[in-house]
Structure 1
């Protein structure tokens, strides 16, 4: 019976944290899942090996026992097998200290879900005895959902297709680009009656030509004619919640920033709360001046000769 290097199966170091082990398992499980690789016996076998490695390394008790056993494996292989009592080889190596059930490693079998190595090492604690099988949770699946900025602003129902299944979900207003939500029980199927995994949906917000988003705040460029900037007046501004009228003071300078409170993005899962909308005023110059307009501009320039 060959030693199984569970760390190598998951591609992690022996010093890996539980979070690193979980991340590595999820990545590889998605890659080799039977639903993704139909009729691929190699992927199916790899998926079983990943589940077995994760079963051990994600459980602190099993991992400790496995690490202790691994250090003695070479010594165990070098002993004359069959010497001494069952579960104990020659030279005093006690196989029974690692196996479940008083050292009789032969009474356990791993069956189709776990290897003989797993069954010999953990026995009943591993979840497989005499053809029985321990339920296990299914793998988590991942998907992405693209939204426009307005769709992220308003939220609402959407349908997403994952592995041929149409799932309807309600998006909360204010979701951010790169934000991930979890739909429990919508992932890969559990094994042996275990619960399904989760579906992790990551939102991708498409860039918007009108607004730049920073957290829950928005910034918008607003063109303003030079006449309105000089003399002041009202200007209508489009916002995601509808048009708003603003008042411009006389002699408003180019690049002036105005703040509209509560006209930004909704705060996620906090109904009634919104960020702010910042307006950046950009003065526009008239083009294709008539002869009369040019003359009037020249007269204005003559009145303020000291300015350049």
Structure 2
């Protein structure tokens, strides 16, 4: 402070006079963490410095106060506003803990709970869209990150979605996310289901000046697979079979999530009736669900001359009409 009582708030925060709101907020966050009284217990100099940077941020983060400050200098608070920071003479003894003071302070800054439950402080600057080894940002269904009211205090929790392949969800995987300029490794457990929510403790929104962080909740989404579909604890898929395999049965090689396996197809298997492979389905606590294979007729394309000849002979030798009785039942 100069002898005439003027504080250069831009200098206090270490920013240029033309700094925008985001630059001022970042500078305040950095300094607030450094001089936070909880980080410097009993340090009166740090406490005084924290009050000073808080005072500077209160003025420069408010467009009207900043305008009057830049126009009238140390007399800004008397220039049509009726009161102001007034040196921020704060009695810490009136608060139960420092978080109570910060919540009160941020409420005066306009950073408390917002209508609809938001905290007023987001994840900072935007992130590239999508997950994986990159970051994530505002491109999520439902608007990206969201918070809700919690006991009247600012809710710092955030929510986002993460999209996995079926193989990643089946086996489990690890993803690296960019959160608030921090790279966070997330372990996805094997057998996670669509709609499940994973909690990353302390990785949510950051409240400036306090160091408090909410939690990040990730909602699992699964990409479609060309063969397998998840149905509870079971995996379902179609099994292509030839005409002779459907009619005569026999051992056939099939694919499972664990690799190839051999399955006995019963004679006369009709399409729509499923084959069950126990313990080959989705991972569950203490084991696995079942794998269900639904047979579908797969004819060769094109038919060879030999296959065509045999099918012609089969048609000539057929002893029953497959639609016997069906026509009458189907009529309305």
TM-score, structure 1 as length reference: 0.53
RMSD of the TM alignment (CA)? 3.0
Rate the CA distance shift 1:284–1:162 in 2: closer, same or farther, 3 A.
same
Structure 1 CA distance for aligned equivalents of residues 315 and 280 of structure 2: 40
Q: Which aligned pairs between 1:270-285 and structure 2 lie closer than 5 A?
A: 270=285, 272-285=286-299
Aligned to 2:310: 296
The answer on 1:145 being equivalent to 2:145 is: no
**Which of the residues 227, 248, 267 maps onto 1:231?**
248
Whole-Å separation in 2 of the counterparts to 1:201 and 1:244: 35
Structure 2: segments with no counterpart, 5+ residues: 1-20, 29-93, 95-100, 110-152, 323-332
- How does 1:1-308 map onto structure 2 within 5 Å? 38=22, 112-115=105-108, 139-190=156-207, 192-193=209-210, 195-267=212-284, 270=285, 272-308=286-322
Q: Which runs of 5+ in 1 are unaligned?
A: 1-36, 45-100, 102-107, 117-135
Q: 1:296 to 1:38 in 2, by over 3 A?
A: same
So what's the TM-score if we normalise by structure 2?
Answer: 0.49
Residues 111 and 193 of structure 1, relative CA distance in 2, 3 Å threshold = closer
Q: Does structure 1 conserve the Cα–Cα contact (< 8 Å) formed by 2:179 and 2:203? A: no
Describe the SS at the equivalent of 1:227.
helix
- Post-superposition Cα deviations, 1:93-143, rounded to whole Å, max 9, x if no partner, equal xxxxxxxx9xxxxxx9x9742349xxxxxxxxxxxxxxxxxxx77711223
How much does 1:290 deviate? Answer: 4.4
Alignment: residue pair count: 185
- 4+ residue segments displaced more than 4 Å: none
- The Cα offsets for residues 169-207 of structure 1, whole Å up to 9 and x where unpaired, read as 211111112221111111223455464211111222111
State the match for 2:89 in structure 1: none
Three-state SS of the structure 2 residue aligned to 1:213 is: strand
